[in-house]
Amino acid sequence: MSKQLTASPFRSREERSREREEKREAVLLAAVRLFNARGYHAASLDDVAASLGISKPTIYHYLGNKEQVLVECVNRGLAMLRAAADDAMRAQGSGFDRLRAFLCRYAKINMDDFGRCVIRTSDEVLSMDSATRFRARKREIDAAVRDLIAQGIADGSIAPVDVRFASFALAGALNWPARWHDPDGPLAPEEIAERLVDVVMGGLTPRA
């Protein structure tokens, strides 16, 4: 397979489809940033287009409609969370350690553009169909958190807390930065994640 040596204005089929994919991603990134900054309803696709120096029909060329733009953004975030959950379930070590590692990643994702969008999107803005899928995928993540807590309790690394309410509390504490964290502020996502997880894991540590 010969790779092209000089930059040419004539692209191969793969190059073209990769370019298309890149443009799609650029649209999604611009959109999610505006959605996060102003809220889904207050952010218009005209604004999204303007922020990329393109026109609205171009967005429709790459994505079906406004809701689908949101759905794709949310899917990006959910995929990251899902991957983190899968890794945690496959990891070895005590339940406590695996939960801890997972929560750090979870908290950081919630400060990422697409992760924030997952948290900030409430299902009323979605069509009934999308909302159902959205809830189901979030429930999977929540199930992983509960599994990890239960496993930790079983192996003695986590105090025998109420699993359901512990997962509510953990989720709340680690979702909340999606609403207040300022990416341009002095606190780095890593630091917030670590410190928050330190505090919340304190409550799960078995008493001596």
Task: Say how many residues touch its own copies, by CB under 8 A.
Answer: 36
Least CB distance to DNA at residue 54 (A): 4
Q: Which is nearer to its own copies, 14 or 124 (by Cβ)?
A: 124
Q: For residue 83, give every residue at least 6 positions away whose Cβ sits within 8 Å of its Cβ, in sequence order, or none.
A: none
Least CB distance to its own copies at residue 192 (A): 8
Least CB distance to DNA at residue 11 (A): 5
Q: Which is nearer to DNA, 16 or 164 (by Cβ)?
A: 16
139 binds, among its own copies, DNA, none (CB under 5 to 8 A by kind): none
Single-letter code of the amino acid located at 25: E
39 binds, among DNA, its own copies, none (CB under 5 to 8 A by kind): its own copies
Least CB distance to DNA at residue 13 (A): 6
Q: Does 127 bind DNA (CB under 7 A)?
A: no
Distance CA 142, CA 148 (A): 10
3-state secondary structure the chain: CCCCCCCCCCCCHHHHHHHHHHHHHHHHHHHHHHHHHHCCCCCCHHHHHHHHCCCHHHHHHHCCCHHHHHHHHHHHHHHHHHHHHHHHHHCCCCHHHHHHHHHHHHHHHCCCHHHHHHHHCCHHHCCHHHHHHHHHHHHHHHHHHHHHHHHHHHCCCCCCCCHHHHHHHHHHHHHCHHHHCCCCCCCCHHHHHHHHHHHHHHCCCCCC
Least CB distance to DNA at residue 136 (A): 23
Q: Does 182 bind its own copies (CB under 8 A)?
A: no
Using CB under 7 A, which residues numbered 27 to 86 contact DNA? 42-47, 49, 53-58, 60-61, 65-67
Q: Does 23 bind DNA (CB under 7 A)?
A: yes
Q: Which residues bind its own copies (CB under 8 A)?
A: 37-39, 41-42, 122, 124-125, 159, 161-162, 165-166, 168-177, 179, 192, 195-196, 198-204, 207-208
